[in-house]
Amino acid sequence: MIPVFNDWDNVSLLLPLISSALKEANDAENCEILLVDDASTISFKSGFSVNEFAHIKSIKILRLKRNIGHQKAIAMGLFYIHRNLAPKAVLIMDGDGEDNPSDLHKLINTCVENNYEKIVFAFRNKRSEGYLFRIFYLFYKMIFRLLTGVSIRIGNFSIIPGQLLGQVITLSDIWRHYASGIMKSKINRIEIAVDRAKRLCGESKMNFTALIMHGISAISVYGGVVGIRLLLFSLLVAMTCSVLIFVTVFIRFFTTLAIPGWATNVVMTLFVIILQTMLFILFFIFVIFQNIDYNLSFTIEKEYDYLVDKVTDVT
């Protein structure tokens, strides 16, 4: 399954590479390709026939009514597959070629070796981006670890055993961020190292703002955990300020160390910090309960029936 938004040139170059790569994979006969068209403004015009690909049985395009982003498009594709197909496994990759087709056999073979009982994720062992991107990516991973308590190094490139697909589509969190949602679910998974490839053609449409939003989406999956951690930090700040106020008052009235006017300024400053901290505490409590309510009330099925336009076959 490949989510796509206007990147049809890359997809056209990618499909032959996928077919060639499947030769090295175990148990990968009769592969079907699902392209999730995220309301592209450019139509897909294939210059090939499915019959040209020895290891690809069919190619379908799942058209969405509006653009919802790759993460939600992945959720839509997974639900379609669960409802209409019965695959041994579902392999997810991006359509720009940066998820190297030559690594497909690694994911598939690892899945087969584990008896189709674990989701297999690929993480990038070597990155080819510039230094600035790497610095920000490292910073993002540090923030993610600090706020959630877990480390993240995986993305969309993965394979889901068919027997786990029904469980995956019940996860409301994959609507916000696929990899982060799987991590939070505790579904059995393993990770293997791969190298990042280069785009097959063109330039990435992912700008700096989109990258930040992507990172925030990953963190938001752990909204409850983040809220609790920040709540505890805010309580610690409030308690520390209260102790400092007590110490300041003690110094002012029971010692000769205080400088005139110093105690009043310190107490007022600490009191303002406490008030601000209490507002943060109320906000984090709201975030925690909102996250709980979201997980209980949201279902991908409702969104699927509303957002899916049509399914067409590429001949």
pLDDT of residue 203: 75
Report the DSSP beta bridge partners of residue 190: 120
The structure's pTM equals 0.86
Residues 160 and 240 in one domain: no
Task: From 153, 97, 93, select the one nearest 125 (Cα to Cα).
Answer: 153
DSSP-assigned states of every residue in the chain: -EEESS-HHHHHHHHHHHHHHGGGSTT--SEEEEEEE-S-SS----SS-GGG-TTEEEEEEEEESS---HHHHHHHHHHHHHHH---SEEEE--TTS-S-GGGHHHHHHHHHHTTT-SEEEEEEEE--S-HHHHHHHHHHHHHHHHHHSS---EEEEEEEEHHHHHHHTT-GGGGT-HHHHHHHHT--EEEEEEE----SSS-----HHHHHHHHHHHHHTTHHHHHHHHHHHHHHHHHHHHHHHHHHHHHHHH-S-PPTTHHHHHHHHHHHHHHHHHHHHHHHHHHHHHHHHHHHH--HHHHHHHHEEEEEEE-
pLDDT of residue 230: 86
pLDDT of residue 294: 65
Residues 166 and 228 in one domain: no
Residues 265 and 199 in one domain: no
Residues 275 and 308 in one domain: no
- The length of the chain is 315
Residues 71 and 47 in one domain: yes
Residues 156 and 264 in one domain: no
Main-chain phi, psi angles of 132, to 5 degrees: -60, -45
Residues 283 and 307 in one domain: no
- 101-160 residue pLDDT tens: 999 999 999 999 999 999 999 998 876 666 777 788 889 999 999 999 999 999 999 999
Contact between 62 and 35 (Cβ < 8 Å): yes
Mapped to the 3 state alphabet, what secondary structure does 14-31 carry? HHHHHHHHHHHCCCCCCE
Instruction: Classify residue 215: in a domain, yes or no.
Output: no
Q: What region, left, alpha or beta, does residue 119 occupy, with left being phi > 0 and alpha being psi -120 to 50 degrees?
A: beta
Contacts of 8 (CB under 8 A, 6+ apart): 40, 42, 43, 44, 45
Low-confidence ranges of the chain (pLDDT < 70): 26-29, 47-48, 127-130, 205-207, 258, 291-297
Instruction: Classify residue 64: in a domain, yes or no.
Output: yes
Residues 194 and 251 in one domain: no
Domain at 47, CATH number: 3.90.550.10
Instruction: Classify residue 216: in a domain, yes or no.
Output: no
Instruction: Classify residue 139: in a domain, yes or no.
Output: no
pLDDT of residue 136: 85
Residues 232 and 304 in one domain: no
Q: Give the number of other CB atoms < 10 A from CB of residue 210.
A: 12
Residues 250 and 286 in one domain: yes
pLDDT of residue 27: 66
pLDDT of residue 290: 72
Task: From 161, 50, 54, 158, select the one nearest 106 (Cα to Cα).
Answer: 158
Instruction: Classify residue 136: in a domain, yes or no.
Output: no
Contacts of 116 (CB under 8 A, 6+ apart): 88, 89, 161, 162, 163
Report how many domains make up the chain: 2
Instruction: Classify residue 212: in a domain, yes or no.
Output: no
Residue 313, classified by CB atoms within 10 Å of its CB into exposed (0-12), middle (13-18) or buried (19+), is exposed
Residues 196 and 94 in one domain: yes
Residues 82 and 41 in one domain: yes
Residue 5, classified by CB atoms within 10 Å of its CB into exposed (0-12), middle (13-18) or buried (19+), is buried
**Domain containing 267: what range?**
224-297
Instruction: Classify residue 145: in a domain, yes or no.
Output: no
Q: How far apart (Å, rounded) are the C-alpha atoms in residues 66 and 82?
A: 21
Instruction: Classify residue 164: in a domain, yes or no.
Output: yes
